[in-house]
Amino acid sequence: MMDIKHLLLIETVATEGSLSEAAKKLYLTQSALSHQLKEIESQMGTPAFHRVNKKLVITPAGNIVLAAARKILPLVENIDLELKKYSLGDIGQLRICTECYTCYHWLPTLLKKFSLEYPNIDIQINTENIDEPLKLLKNGKVDVALVFRPEKDNHVEYVDLFKDELVLLASPKHALAQYPIIHPRHFENQVLVTHSSKFESSTVYKDILEPAGVNVRKAIYVQLTEAVIEMVKANIGIAVLPKWTIKPYLLNGSLTMKKINNRGLIRKWSAASLKSNKKIEHLQYFTELLRNEIMI
């Protein structure tokens, strides 16, 4: 079967017209080139060149190979060029996902700074499955996943980022507004407005309700933070959100914020990426931005 080096040899010999000149172009000795040409002709089952007065004249069979070489070799050269551009950050993509919708609050400022350094990198935010960001990463659908529940995996590398605290948000008219600290038992039979489409995989369920054997009456899935806030204001239910997210909404007294458990409900965030992508410059740069620029 013909491979790239065979095509390159035939194309070079045809262009140069002699083994000696072709050998110089390919950085081979003339004897090595002659040996390789004989191997190719053996595979072809027919000569690729006629020897005429110390010159090599291509045969009809050789012309078939030459035509293919002149189509394929430029494509291969273009692939090498594109890969080089990609490794240098001249082209490429940055695909991001996060385990919580609220994290997109600070992304625009960060991405603006990234784009100044890498203007030709296409940025994509994947909101396909926020409950399983590491699955998206390992399936090759994203390049960086922001997570607070890391999983041990030899193929994944984690960079520590920041911590945040989840708090309970309620209307001042809600029964839970009277308690200074919210404990798991307080969630019993409550209506909970949540960002998580898969409630059983949410932090509230896994870290609060399930260990205590507590059940809410209903979990209402709402994707937008603003909509969650308005539902809580209307006393339709309670919500558990990051403290830094809800602070701007507390100014007019229409909401109340409560600590969950005595120690607080703390999440430790990290940036996850595949170890095999470690040498890609623009991914390294973005990870450094995440580590150094995000202030919670």
β-pair type (49-52, 92-98): unpaired
Q: Using an 8 Å Cβ cutoff, are 174 and 235 in contact?
A: yes
Residues 46 and 10 sit within 8 Å (Cβ to Cβ): no
Residue 291 has pLDDT above 70, yes or no: yes
Comparing CA positions, the residue from 69, 67, 49 lying closest to residue 59 is 49
**Does residue 296 contact residue 162 with C-beta atoms inside 8 Å?**
yes
Contact present, 100 and 130 (Cβ < 8 Å)? yes
Question: Residue 23 to residues 18, 35, 44: CA-CA distances in angstroms?
Answer: 9, 11, 21
Provide the CATH number for the domain around residue 263.
3.40.190.10
Q: Residue 96's beta-bridge partner residues?
A: 125, 144
CA-to-CA distance for 261 and 239, rounded, in angstroms?
15
The pLDDT of residue 215 is 94
The reply to whether 239 and 262 lie within a common domain is yes
Q: Within this chain, do residues 18 and 54 fall inside the same structural domain, yes or no?
A: yes
For residue 76, what are the contacts with CB-CB under 8 A and spacing of at least 6? 4
* 3-state class (DSSP) for residue 213: coil
The residue among 87, 116, 136 that closes a domain is 87
* Same domain? 200 vs 180: yes
Total of domains in the chain:
3
DSSP track, 226-279: HHHHHHHHTTS-EEEEEHHHHGGGGTTSS-EEEEESTT-EEEEEEEEEEGGGTT
Q: Which residues constitute the domain of residue 218?
A: 163-267
Q: pTM for the complete prediction?
A: 0.66
Examine the domain organization and report whether 42 and 82 are in the same domain.
yes
154 with 83, same domain: the answer is: no
CB neighbourhood size of 118 (10 A): 20
- Kindly state whether residues 155 and 191 are assigned to the same domain: no
Final residue before a domain boundary, out of 41, 72, 87: 87
* 278, 150: one domain: yes
Q: Which of 159, 170, 192 is nearest to 286 (CA)?
A: 159
H-type alpha helices, 163-250? 203, 210-212, 225-233, 243-246
In this predicted model, what pLDDT tens digit does every residue of 124-172 receive, in sequence order?
888 776 778 899 999 989 999 999 989 999 999 999 988 889 999 999 9
- The single-letter DSSP state of residue 149 is S
167 plus 254 within the same structural domain = yes
Residue 93 CA to residue 138 CA, distance in Å, equals: 17
* Whether residues 248 and 176 fall in one domain: yes
For 20-72, the pLDDT digits (tens) are 889 998 998 999 989 999 999 998 899 999 888 778 889 999 999 999 999 99
Please indicate, yes or no, whether residues 113 and 39 belong to a single structural domain of this protein.
Answer: no
Which of 87, 112, 137 is at the close of a domain? 87
Judge contact between 190 and 268, C-beta under 8 A.
no
DSSP 3-state of 90: coil
> In this predicted model, what pLDDT tens digit does every residue of 82-134 receive, in sequence order?
777 666 656 678 999 888 766 666 777 888 899 898 888 888 888 776 778 89
User: In one letter, which amino acid is 154?
Assistant: N
Residue 112 carries which side chain, given as an amino acid letter? K
The DSSP call for residue 59 is -
Report pLDDT for 13: 92
144 and 289 part of one domain: yes
Identify whether residues 261 and 178 lie together within a single domain. Answer: yes
pLDDT band, residue 296 (cuts 50/70/90): low
